[in-house]
């Protein structure tokens, strides 16, 4: 099956800040090496610096989720504040203790209390990555192949892998490109190696669009006074 060629070159504003992480599986090694070459060839056309291109090997497609999440957390996981919670005032306590028959039943008690809860160290939390104008722009490209077998295992595996990569892509703020093939045969897989070039372009285009959206909403929140508002 022939796919439509997609001509795209990222703007310099994205290229100079991007950092690309490529995850690939050890399964189907020859196929993965061919897909890795396609990544390098496409980035070469962009003249993308080699020092900002990183490759990581995992066992199979299921393990792509773990490493993709670990990478995304490096950008989305925030640290640096300690939490102190102070609770003062009356505390309502309801009890149902077992007493002799003439004391059976619930009873209420009002106590005056004061608590101070302090975290032992800085608290970390997950927050979607929103880069400043000087922050780098990470792109994670997950490459794998889930080949159809004699059982339905490939369906469950593909559903899990794609679903988790989609979740990370939507919630971490880091573009994660799901470059996982799900062919019926090795021949179908090899026929789709060239798709990798489109996946590389997709990662850069995501950041180009994200930056445009960010600028759009910043402009909405800081509107320029209209000349029409001046007195006549």
Same domain, 137 and 70: yes
At residue 228 the predicted structure's pLDDT band, cuts being 50, 70 and 90, is: very low
DSSP H or E run through 91: strand 84-95
pLDDT at 77: 81
d(CA 36, CA 38): 5
Tens of pLDDT, residues 47-61: 999 999 999 999 999
Is the pLDDT reported for residue 178 higher than 60? yes
d(CA 117, CA 161): 40
Short-list 181, 193, 179, CA closest to 147: 181
| Residue 95 · residue 109 · CB < 8 Å | yes
Tens of pLDDT, residues 93-117: 555 555 555 545 555 555 555 656 6
Tens of pLDDT, residues 108-148: 555 555 656 666 666 667 789 999 999 999 999 999 999 99
With respect to residue 152, please indicate whether it lies within any of the assigned structural domains: yes
Half-sphere exposure at residue 180, Cβ-oriented, CA atoms within 13 angstroms: 31
| Enclosing domain of residue 25 | 12-77+128-221
With respect to residue 226, please indicate whether it lies within any of the assigned structural domains: no
Same domain, 88 and 180: no
At residue 218 the predicted structure's pLDDT band, cuts being 50, 70 and 90, is: confident
Same domain, 207 and 159: yes
Same domain, 104 and 202: no
pLDDT at 232: 45
Of 123, 152, 177, which residue constitutes the final position of a domain? 123
* Structural domains in the chain (count): 2
Half-sphere exposure at residue 67, Cβ-oriented, CA atoms within 13 angstroms: 21
């Amino acid at each position: 099956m022939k796919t439509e060629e997609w001509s795209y070159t990222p703007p310099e504003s994205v290229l100079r800040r991007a950092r690309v992480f490529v995850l690939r599986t050890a399964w189907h090694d020859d196929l993965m090496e061919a897909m890795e070459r396609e990544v390098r060839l496409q980035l070469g056309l962009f003249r993308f610096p080699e020092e900002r291109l990183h490759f990581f090997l995992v066992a199979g497609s299921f393990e792509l989720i773990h490493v993709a999440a670990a990478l995304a957390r490096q950008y989305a996981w925030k640290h640096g504040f300690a939490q102190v919670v102070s609770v003062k005032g009356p505390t309502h306590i309801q009890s149902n203790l077992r007493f002799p028959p003439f004391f059976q039943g619930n009873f209420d008690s009002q106590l005056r209390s004061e608590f101070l809860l302090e975290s032992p160290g800085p608290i970390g939390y997950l927050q979607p990555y929103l880069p400043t104008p000087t922050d780098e722009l990470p792109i994670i490209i997950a490459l794998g192949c889930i080949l159809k077998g004699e059982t339905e295992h490939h369906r469950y595996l593909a559903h899990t892998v794609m679903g988790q990569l989609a979740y990370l892509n939507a919630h971490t703020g880091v573009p994660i490109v799901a470059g996982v093939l799900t062919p019926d045969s090795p021949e179908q897989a090899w026929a789709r190696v060239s798709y990798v070039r489109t996946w590389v372009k997709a990662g850069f285009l995501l950041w180009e669009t994200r930056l445009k959206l960010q600028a759009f909403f910043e402009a909405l929140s800081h509107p320029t006074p209209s000349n029409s508002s001046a007195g006549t």
